[in-house]
Structure 1
Amino acid sequence: MNNAISVLVIDDERNLVRSIGFSLKDEGMQVTGAYTGSEGIESAKVLSPDVVLLDLGLPDISGIKVLVQLKAQYPDLPVIMISAHGDTRSAVKAVKEGAIDYITKPFDVEELVLLIRRSTERIRMLREIRFLRERNTETGPLVGSSKEMSMLRTAIELVGQSSGKTVLITGPSGTGKALVARALHDFRFTNAPFIEVNCAALPEQLIEAELFGAERGAYTGANQRRAGLIDLADGGTLFLDEIGEIPLHLQAKLLSFLENRNYRPVGAGRERQANVFVVAATNRNLKEDVDSGVFRADLFYRLNVLPVDIPGLSQRDRDVILLLTHFSELFAKQEGCEPIQLEDSVLSLLEQYDWPGNIRELKNLMERLTILYPGKQITVDMLPVEFHSGKRGVPEVKDDYREAVEDHERQLILDALKESDWRKGLAAEKLGISRHALKRRIQRLNLENEG
């Protein structure tokens, strides 16, 4: 399979086109020339190039008109304008019309190669992001009606609408930090890159090159220039997940970037700039990491300008049923079956479970049950053993202790009902649970005839 970048050059200077062809061929690119605007438009239809180099001054129609036609037919096609020396005003106008960049004659071949690679890589990433957005139905609205979720939505809205450039998301593992980062991004942008980086998954020796990019020859095996993830996120969001895992020796360089949005790729002679909204996330206590010397204090305070904390699922009792319903419908759609139905005994057990793996654990359970029992009624014996064996969540207890717990629960519920004049909605709010959950507890504890 040939993965060479295909380049269409639309320019009436045949010698220039030939020269570009020779130079780019050495870089492993395929070059086709077109010498009029009309010929260029037809060639684009036939070739479907990865990138177009378009001269502003063409013999038949202006380069701007060619650009407009190309962008109308192929919105994602990256077009780099070629302008004569001193004609930067027209080049800037072309960028406003949709050109991804411009280069002025006479130009340096290395600069041209850099522009082409950067343009094609950015478009590739945008297409991949669009594909993942369409494919991944999980990244929908944040599910939950609890007070904690209401506060989280408010925080996302306030931070998303602010002018702040750095956000720190904290919370236990599995609570949906990536989903919150996406929500913050969507509040600010409509069509911009969202680049996610798992700092824990990147090899320590490569993380600097991955983030900041690297020039050709900067290290062993660097056979060509590497665009960094910061570069790809320019104009959008860079999501640094597991920020607490970033090596100490790189924290100073990241801090410098956060201060002024300037960075230097590995092996580069000069700095570059990227306008990036940075969202970092961690399940670690960074204050403790600062005290122990594994995380820089100045970086922590720079990241923690706009903190957003996500509560664990054990703190969102009333959201469990909503999440179970959400994921049962989601996985039924993916598997092409009817949603599974959970018996009341199952709902009661799952609502009492403490969910150490948070939403990720709940999601995995619903996916498993949907695959094993598509469209069926789920009973307690169908649940994995850990949900009713006492290994996690609800512990195994002796009968006398269980009775003592139930007596205490019964008294709490009765007190809440009496204080609320037996209005179940108000009593549920006092207890911090959903009305549906209260109803099931009343049934389980045989309190229907009380009051």
Structure 2
Amino acid sequence: MSDIHVLIVDDEEALVRSLSYALRAEGMRISTAGSGEAALERVTGGPADIDIVLLDLGLPGIDGLATLDGLRALQPGLPVIMISAHGDTRAAVQAVKGGATDYLTKPFELDDLLATIASTLATPGPGLDDKPVDAGLHGQSLAMSTLSAAVQRIARSSATRILLLGESGTGKTLVAQALHAHSSRVAHAFIEVNCAALPEQLIEAELFGSEKGAYTGAHQKRVGLVSQADGGTLFLDEIGELPLALQAKLLHFLENGSYRAVGANRASSADVRVVAATNRDLAEDVRLGRFREDLFYRLNVITVDIPPLRERGDDVLLLAEYFARRQALEEGVEAIRFEADCLAALRAHRWPGNVRELKNLIERLTILSPGRAISAALLPAPMHGPELASEAQALGDQLERAERELVSDALSRAAGHKGLAAHLLGISRHALKRRLQRLGIER
């Protein structure tokens, strides 16, 4: 990932500074533009050495879609990753159909951005462990070596129906991204769908599209995610949550690539690699009538079992150090350090939330204790013996109350304006959003 030249096109100065700092720490060279016009001028007048563009959808002057058209006209082969605000996902995906390589929705994690850049610029050959972007897959344990080898083989195979099995937080999304990045489909879109997050009454239209007037509120034709993933990869996360009625239609599509948009008179087809993922026991769901048996067997041809963190030995320590460095870069602070009793506690913990739990823990420790040496006493109560539990719980509650008061005070002083509140706190707007979500503060 070193020596890649990235052009960041965004008018949000705090985000541009944060991204520039983080990407430079990965060895990349950075150029920036605050508008579409400036981006086009840079590509036209500057040296032709830009490797990839991060392009915001909402820009002053000409918008992101118009800028995308201009970039494609100037340099047709230049990879462009669209960045959209929450709620603009459909427009961003339409941009993918119009020539963008991929898209991210704000707020996004640095790991997600790095994974997307890697997917965009990926070339066949290197193993997963050579890519620092695959943080959740990185490790030296036998379990991870086996997983990495399996992902490499499957990614380059002709398999188009793959099922990922693993506990929540093990990195199923990263595995799906790696399967796409190392495949011959990497030049096409990677579309992720959380089956548990879509409203049941709209999920069919989201997946397969709909005609204008097909249902109440369908004021225009909707292009489905299956169509948008044509030639690429469709990642169906939480497949076990898919309603039974839609499971039959998905099965039909999986069998022959044919589907019918809601309200359409004719069928359409798409060439899509479908990667499904679940943390549920689908065989048990079949027995209980919650999941179609024929769909289960159609998906259960190529399976990838993702090991839980507790079975990965000292990988937890490698990942803790990795996340500590990454979070320090993102926050612009000194990285936390781990004392011997802390490392022992991390190693002994069962990690029911797996890599996600570890990452969230390191984020919290970095925010509350930047640059400190972390002892076991600063870890959550379940991670150490009963003699430290009450002390650690009390300290954790005290720190959370202090953080909540600081954030609430900044919001009050800023009259609810998040950008100004972030400035008062000395953090980025993106970092403030994460804190508001974690603390459950609604403004």
TM-score (norm 1): 0.60
In structure 1, how many angstroms separate the alpha carbons of the residues matched to 2:153 and 2:72?
39
Deviation at residue 49 of structure 1 after TM alignment:
9.4
In structure 2, how many angstroms separate the alpha carbons of the residues matched to 1:73 and 1:124?
12
The equivalent residue for 2:143 is 148
- 1:77-156 matches, within 5 Å, as 120=95, 122-123=97-98, 126=101, 128-129=103-104, 136=112, 139=115, 140-141=133-134, 142-156=137-151
Deviation at residue 338 of structure 1 after TM alignment:
2.1
Match for 1:202: what amino acid?
L
Listed one character per residue, the Cα deviations across residues 113-165 of structure 1 (whole Å, up to 9, x for unaligned) are: xxx99965623874524996977356412211111001100110111011010
In structure 2, how many angstroms separate the alpha carbons of the residues matched to 1:309 and 1:255?
22
Listed one character per residue, the Cα deviations across residues 199-227 of structure 1 (whole Å, up to 9, x for unaligned) are: 01111111101111100000000000011
Match for 1:328: what amino acid?
A
In structure 1, how many angstroms separate the alpha carbons of the residues matched to 2:141 and 2:76?
45
- 1:255-404 matches, within 5 Å, as 255-388=251-384
Match for 2:227: what amino acid?
D
| Cα distance, 1:147–1:70 mapped onto 2, change above 3 Å | closer
TM-score (norm 2): 0.61
In structure 2, how many angstroms separate the alpha carbons of the residues matched to 1:319 and 1:267?
50
| Cα distance, 1:77–1:334 mapped onto 2, change above 3 Å | closer
Provide the identity percentage: 51
The equivalent residue for 2:239 is 243
In structure 1, how many angstroms separate the alpha carbons of the residues matched to 2:71 and 2:316?
52
Contact kept, 8 Å, 2:207 with 2:226, in 1: the verdict is yes
In structure 2, how many angstroms separate the alpha carbons of the residues matched to 1:118 and 1:335?
29
Contact kept, 8 Å, 2:102 with 2:190, in 1: the verdict is no
Listed one character per residue, the Cα deviations across residues 324-376 of structure 1 (whole Å, up to 9, x for unaligned) are: 11111110111112221100011011101111111111111101011111111
Deviation at residue 390 of structure 1 after TM alignment:
5.0
In structure 1, how many angstroms separate the alpha carbons of the residues matched to 2:265 and 2:160?
27
Structure 1 segments unaligned to the other structure (5+ residues): 1-45, 53-66, 79-115, 394-451
SS at match of 2:277: strand
Instruction: Establish whether residue 222 from structure 1 lines up as the match of residue 222 from structure 2.
Output: no
Deviation at residue 311 of structure 1 after TM alignment:
1.1
Structure number with bigger Rg: 1
| Cα distance, 1:354–1:117 mapped onto 2, change above 3 Å | closer
Deviation at residue 191 of structure 1 after TM alignment:
2.6
| Cα distance, 1:207–1:69 mapped onto 2, change above 3 Å | closer
Match for 1:122: what amino acid?
K
The equivalent residue for 1:63 is none
In structure 1, how many angstroms separate the alpha carbons of the residues matched to 2:291 and 2:373?
49
**Count of paired positions:** 297
SS at match of 1:317: coil
The equivalent residue for 1:71 is 73
The equivalent residue for 1:157 is 152
| Cα distance, 1:231–1:385 mapped onto 2, change above 3 Å | same
In structure 2, how many angstroms separate the alpha carbons of the residues matched to 1:267 and 1:74?
36
**Structure 1 residue aligned with 2:182, among 187, 197, 209?**
187
